[in-house]
Amino acid sequence: MRELILGGARSGKSALAEQLAKESGQQVIYIATATADDQEMAKRIEHHQQHRPKDWLLIEEPIHLTQTLQQQAAEERILLVDCLTLWLTNLLMKRADIQQHRESLLQLLPNLPGRLIMVSNEVGMGIVPMGEISRRFQDESGILHQALAQRCERVILTVAGLPHILKGPPLC
């Protein structure tokens, strides 16, 4: 199953993704896309690390997400990606070909064995940003989310810690 969990900052999306992974009883590989470029981000990363089960394997991959998914996917395994918007930010900052990375990810999804839970920030519900790079980030996020939502079996919007199923089976 492919799942996309969207929500705003501090909406509970990561906690929900981690809860779903824990409840599965399967091996979990946590794929972190964040980079600790400043002290505040380092603290956020540390907070996430402290709340994850110690038996989960952690892979830090800020750019080459598709290759990591391809290498790590297996039938009895859950891949939890947190988060896609940080991945997009990393691609923007490296001036990478976002369309190529997005298309590679989208092409991989149908044939990926096992379960995939992807977390991402919903950034399209506010005002249009003034800066060019901020507008591009918002546009790229929206394009990615729409394409993923069509390809995922379940899509959840998390608001104030409450999951709202937009597509797919209910949470058990």
Q: What is the CATH number of the domain that holds 70?
A: 3.40.50.300
- 150 belongs to a structural domain: yes
Which residues are part of the catalytic machinery?
A: 48
Domain that holds residue 55: 2-8+18-167
Separation in Å, CA 20 to CA 17, 112, 135: 5, 19, 32
- Write out pLDDT tens, residues 51-94: 788 899 999 999 999 999 999 999 999 999 999 999 999 999 99
- Write out pLDDT tens, residues 99-117: 999 999 999 999 999 999 9
Tokens (6 digits) for 79: 């891949």
- The count of structural domains within the chain is 1
- 13 belongs to a structural domain: no
Which position has the token pair 């976002």?
98
- 137 belongs to a structural domain: yes
Which position has the token pair 């989208």?
106
- 53 belongs to a structural domain: yes
- 172 belongs to a structural domain: no
Does the predicted TM-score (pTM) go above 0.75?
yes
- Write out pLDDT tens, residues 124-172: 888 888 899 999 999 999 999 999 999 999 999 999 999 999 999 999 7
- 70 belongs to a structural domain: yes
- 92 belongs to a structural domain: yes
Separation in Å, CA 30 to CA 1, 68, 152: 16, 11, 19
Tokens (6 digits) for 29: 């590989």
Cβ atoms within 10 A of the Cβ of 67, count?
12
C-alpha 148/C-alpha 132 separation (Å) is 24
Query: For residues 129 and 13, is the Cβ–Cβ distance under 8 A?
Result: no
